[in-house]
Structures are given as structure tokens and as C-alpha cells.
């Protein structure tokens, strides 16, 4: 079953390695494929084994839904050329894998396109996606994901920075604490493998506890323990690894602010 009829695609060459290439219902409905050149479009269509290359954006006009897979730095030029070469009023357009949201000013939005953005949630085995934008386009995306047995989480356009903040906190900002934990345990006498196993076990336990209990996963006794640790540990760690000492001290202060402030707020609300 086709989720949406006659889809179009505007993409770069690496689109053939994207999640789109593993969505049979989308490929079955794919028609015109526009790339930076006709040759690149033909290679892309051949790699996808779907659709056919076109040389001008106007060939996309019959498509009620168009996917755009372009690098962020090329997106402004692509949407400008697209809006200049074809009528896009009421066309459903999905911006894939981009940082911007559907409310970002653009010629497509000004011309009345029904814009949405779609992002794959990392480490979800291509099963989980986040989308925001025009209600009609979101409904079309829901149909696509239902056919493909994927999960779509709808967010508000203004919430997209919150989404990326949440991803970056888990993807990048946990790493300094993990690295400091491993290196500090190694300095104490653990092997790298031993230190990594201990840090991983504690980290997984903390994540599981928060997933199960939310803010209640924070042990109230941790505050006094951490305040004593802040007075005792960083100086010794400073002599061995100044960077880890800074991560440790800053992490304690951040934890005390975050959980202490929220605990007080919860107490006031009661």
C-alpha cells in the first residue's frame, strides 16, 4: 500500500544511504528525482532503484509531497531555486535531517508551501523519528511511518532547539564525565578495562533509574555526600588530572543546582 501518491525527491548523492532508501513504500511511490545535475539525479535514482532523474524543478509540480535531503549549507540555495522554478502553494514539503524548523523564513514558506521537518532519532535503528510543521504534512508523514512500522513523535516548531539540546546532552555532554570517571579510576589503580566496566555499569544504572523514577531517582542523601566530596576530592584530583578535577567539581555544582533547586520547587508546590 502506498502511504502517499507520487512523491518527489530533491537530494544530494548521499541520499541513497539515508533512511529513505530503506522505506519500501516511499520508494514505490517515488517519481521525479532532482539533484545538483541530471547526471547526479540519475545516479541517485539508480542507487535507490526508484524514481527517475529530472533536470528542472518544474517537473516536481505534480507531486503533492516532496522530500528534500540536502546538507544544511546548501539548503537555502535549493529552496530558493525551487520556489523560483515551480509553484509550491499547498505543496507538502518535508525538510529531512536539518537543524532549522518549518517556521524558519524561506521562499517556500512565503510561497505557501506546507512545510514540515523530519529528523531521525539517533541510535533508534531508524525506528524513531521527530517531526514538526504543517498539520497536513504531519498527517502524511504519520501515514508513511505507519506503513513503514516506524514511530513518529510530533513536536512544536519552537521545541526543536529543545530536542537538539536533549540529544546533545546525552550524545556529547555525558562523555566528559564518563572519560573523567574512567581516567580517574585508572589513576587510582584500575586497569582501563576495569575502569570502563565500572563507569559503564554505574552510568547505565543511573539512566535506568531516571527512566523508571524520574526526579525521584535522585537520592536526597547525595547532596550532603557531594558537598563533602567537593571539599575533599578535587584538590587531590587536581594534582593528578586538572581537567578531570574541573569536570568533577563543575559536575557536582551542576548536580546540586539542578536537583536541589527542583527539590525545593517541588516542596514549595506541595
Q: What is the pLDDT of residues 102-155, one digit of tens each?
A: 999 999 999 999 999 999 999 999 999 999 999 999 999 999 999 999 999 999
Task: Report residue 268's pLDDT band, with 50, 70 and 90 as the boundaries.
Answer: very low
Identify whether residues 148 and 204 lie together within a single domain: no
Residue 167 maps to a domain: no
- Single out the residue in 160, 188, 210 at which a domain terminates: 160
User: What residue numbers bound the domain in which 264 lies?
Assistant: 174-269
Residue 92 maps to a domain: yes
pLDDT at site 265: 56
Q: Taking the CB of residue 172, how many other CB atoms lie within 10 A of it?
A: 9
pLDDT at site 220: 85
Identify whether residues 64 and 187 lie together within a single domain: no
Residue 11 maps to a domain: yes
Identify whether residues 153 and 78 lie together within a single domain: yes
Identify whether residues 39 and 69 lie together within a single domain: yes
Give the chain's domain count: 2
Identify whether residues 29 and 152 lie together within a single domain: yes
Assess whether pLDDT exceeds 90 at residue 183. Answer: yes
Pairing mode, if any, of strands 65-69 and 52-54? unpaired
Query: pLDDT tens across 47-67, in order?
Result: 999 999 999 999 999 999 999
User: Following CA atoms 58, 61, 63, 64 in sequence, which dihedral angle do they give, to the nearest 10 degrees?
Assistant: 140
Average pLDDT over residues 39-52: 97
pTM for the predicted model, two decimal places: 0.88
Amino acid at each position: 500500500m502506498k502511504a502517499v501518491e507520487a512523491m518527489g525527491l530533491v537530494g544530494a548523492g548521499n541520499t541513497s544511504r539515508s533512511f529513505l532508501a530503506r522505506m519500501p513504500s516511499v520508494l514505490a511511490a517515488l517519481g521525479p528525482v532532482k539533484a545538483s545535475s541530471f547526471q547526479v539525479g540519475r545516479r541517485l535514482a539508480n542507487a535507490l532503484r526508484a524514481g527517475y532523474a529530472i533536470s528542472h524543478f518544474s517537473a516536481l509540480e505534480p507531486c503533492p509531497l516532496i522530500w528534500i535531503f540536502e546538507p544544511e549549507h546548501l539548503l537555502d540555495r535549493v529552496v530558493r531555486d525551487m520556489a523560483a522554478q515551480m509553484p509550491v502553494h499547498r505543496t507538502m514539503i518535508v525538510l529531512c535531517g536539518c537543524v532549522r524548523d518549518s517556521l524558519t523564513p524561506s521562499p517556500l514558506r512565503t510561497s505557501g508551501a506546507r512545510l514540515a521537518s523530519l529528523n531521525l532519532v539517533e541510535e533508534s535503528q531508524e525506528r524513531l523519528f521527530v517531526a514538526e510543521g504543517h498539520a497536513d504534512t504531519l498527517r502524511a508523514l504519520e501515514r508513511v511511518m505507519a506503513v513503514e512500522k516506524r514511530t513518529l513523535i510530533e513536536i512544536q516548531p519552537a521545541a526543536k532547539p529543545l530536542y537538539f539540546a536533549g540529544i546533545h546532552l546525552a550524545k556529547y555532554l555525558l562523555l566528559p564525565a564518563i572519560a573523567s570517571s574512567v581516567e580517574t579510576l585508572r589513576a587510582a589503580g584500575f586497569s582501563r578495562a576495569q575502569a570502563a566496566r565500572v563507569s559503564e555499569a554505574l552510568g547505565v544504572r543511573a539512566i535506568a533509574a531516571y527512566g523508571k523514577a524520574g526526579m525521584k531517582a535522585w537520592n536526597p542523601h547525595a547532596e550532603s555526600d557531594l558537598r563533602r566530596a567537593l571539599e575533599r576530592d578535587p584538590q587531590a584530583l587536581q594534582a593528578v588530572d586538572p581537567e578531570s578535577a574541573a569536570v568533577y567539581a563543575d559536575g557536582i555544582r551542576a548536580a546540586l543546582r539542578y536537583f536541589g533547586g527542583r527539590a525545593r520547587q517541588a516542596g514549595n508546590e506541595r
